[in-house]
Structure 1
Amino acid sequence: MNIGISTFVWVSPFSTASFDILRKAKDIGYDVIEIAVEDRELIDWAVLRKTCREMDLSVTVSGAFGMDRDISNELPEIRANGLSYIIDCLEIASELESPLFGGPLYSAVGKTRLVPERQKQQERQWCLDNLYQAVQRAEALGVTLALEPLNRFETDMVNTVDQAIALVDEVGSAQLKILLDTFHSNIEEKNIPASIIKLGSRLAHIQANENDRGTPGTGHLDWVGICDALQTIGYQGSLVIETFGAPSKELARAASIWRPLAASADELAEEGFAFLKKTFTA
């Protein structure tokens, strides 16, 4: 399995001025850099593609779903903006030769409310309506949309693997699969290896994060069980560390990041890589 790291580990938002991160990741030994698209206008995409190719660094693309990018919002203009953002990111993923674009496609991070069942079903339908449109573009580009369940403190729509499977199966496209973030799964799943087995071929991407979003291998996750489960289903995707070394105010609030998660981003990147390399590729 290829091992990757998100630009979120070092900076938010990622920009052309942050391209030194690419060299850091490559020098540590990472195979993959995950580009978090917060503001596409900050990034020179042609230069990014050229630089990654020259470094032999593969790319995956992830999203940043603020309140104005919510495809299940009651306001049609916000739903339209969310769909436009997803399609833009699919185009970016295609240009960068990323196999996927992943994230909580269905809603905004930090949108947590107890709402009546009728409203919940209406929001789910708005989500489905937009996902149907998004997968059409994903199918045309040959890029996979990877839908990520988030924990209950970050969304009220899709928290569990079962909820993600129900939504993905209802859309019914081979280009819509599931991204599993082990940090969120540690909160919402009773058994992470069992949830991986349940996902099977629906699993497109793993964000390999510790239970506290700190350095992988320093917490209580069952990494050996996770590795065994991935081998059981024949997983061929990447393992990407995604945590937040310098979150923006909006991101910190949405993900409840109030303290440093490691002594430094560089230390987390180096020690996390060593652990994942030893555990998953030995």
Structure 2
Amino acid sequence: MIKSAVTIALVPEIKSGPWIFWEDLEKGLEKAATLGFDAVELFTASADALDENLLTNLLQKHGLQLAAVGTGAGKVIHGLTLTDPDPEVRQKAISFISEMISFGAKFGAPAIIGSMQGNVLPNGNREETMNWLAEGLAMLEKKAAESGVFLIYEPLNRYETNLLNTMEAGSVFLEKTGLENTKLLADLFHMNIEEVDMAQSIRSYGKHIGHVHFADSNRRPIGFGHSDISPIAEALKKIDYQGYVSAEAFPYPNPDAAAEQTIREFRKWFR
């Protein structure tokens, strides 16, 4: 069964990002539960920024699951990426993500690698950079497997990374490097920019998809842009996708309205 999730960000430095609920964890969980979401996707400053017992109790209180944990704070706050030319920085990035994997795994939630993948620098060597990415992911997917979860890699659009931008590129990379415990994140906003046919990409590379970000063409909630969701929803059903469809979208026109619009669209297409 395809499940619904909504984002909650607890990192002030990323407040301008595409997250539905902000700052108040308990209030965000309460609203998510009231609207009928199955889970939340959580963004914290670090693995130890949130008390695990508190999160456990709050999730149980509101009958919610943890869908995934983001790692973007590692880049935004600390400037860490898996492809930095400095091996010490790459190791710090691996350590930061490893801690996030351990944190999320306690709730059965995988960690997402988005901005922490980095870029090929202007004077950098692409092959060398891609090798660094493969080496980092190999270590991290092993850590995830040992923790009982998979790892999520997110192909981003060309304006955010020059590494892997499409489902095809991500799938080829996973297969070429033998990354068997790493799944792709199909973010509909990024796909709207990069894919020729989003639904066809989902059908073609569905076996690698482990998470979906539910956002329209303008990164607002579904229904507030021009993406045609009907074929996308059908493609996810066609590949028998069983994961989360998570609203990583701007809180437009406000958090409550954005959450209501998201769950309304989710039910329209998946229930």
TM-score, with structure 1 as normaliser: 0.85
Deviation string 1:156-210 (CA, Å, 9 cap, x unpaired) is 1111112211221133243111111000000000000011011122110111111
Deviation string 1:193-232 (CA, Å, 9 cap, x unpaired) is 0110111221101111110011211221121100110111
| Kept in 1: contact 2:3–2:243 (CA 8 A) | yes
Q: Report deviation, 1:112.
A: 7.3
Q: How do residues 22-33 of structure 1 correspond to structure 2 at under 5 angstroms?
A: 22-33=29-40
Instruction: Flag the 1:105–1:212 CA change in 2: closer, same or farther, 3 A.
Output: closer
Q: How do residues 1-282 of structure 1 correspond to structure 2 at under 5 angstroms?
A: 1-7=2-8, 8-11=19-22, 14=23, 17-60=24-67, 61-64=69-72, 65-66=74-75, 68-98=79-109, 100-104=110-114, 107-108=117-118, 111=119, 114-115=122-123, 119-245=125-251, 262-281=252-271
Distance in 2, Cα, partners of 1:273 & 1:112: 38
Distance in 2, Cα, partners of 1:113 & 1:210: 30
| Kept in 2: contact 1:104–1:148 (CA 8 A) | yes
Show the counterpart of 2:15. Answer: none
Distance in 1, Cα, partners of 2:83 & 2:121: 13
TM-score, with structure 2 as normaliser: 0.88
Distance in 2, Cα, partners of 1:244 & 1:168: 30
Q: Report deviation, 1:44.
A: 1.3
| Kept in 2: contact 1:106–1:127 (CA 8 A) | no
Distance in 2, Cα, partners of 1:54 & 1:18: 13
Equivalenced residues, count: 256
| Kept in 2: contact 1:71–1:83 (CA 8 A) | yes
Q: Report deviation, 1:66.
A: 1.1
Show the counterpart of 1:250. Answer: none
**AA aligned opposite 1:161:** M
Q: Report deviation, 1:54.
A: 2.5
Identity %: 25
Which structure 2 residue ranges, 5 or more long, are not aligned?
Answer: 9-18
SS in 2 for 1:178: strand
Q: Report deviation, 1:36.
A: 1.4
Distance in 2, Cα, partners of 1:144 & 1:62: 14
Query: What is the RMSD of the two structures over their aligned residues, measured on CA atoms?
Result: 1.8
Deviation string 1:108-153 (CA, Å, 9 cap, x unpaired) is 3xx575456xx11111111111111111111111211111000111
| Kept in 2: contact 1:186–1:221 (CA 8 A) | yes
Distance in 2, Cα, partners of 1:57 & 1:171: 35
**AA aligned opposite 1:4:** A
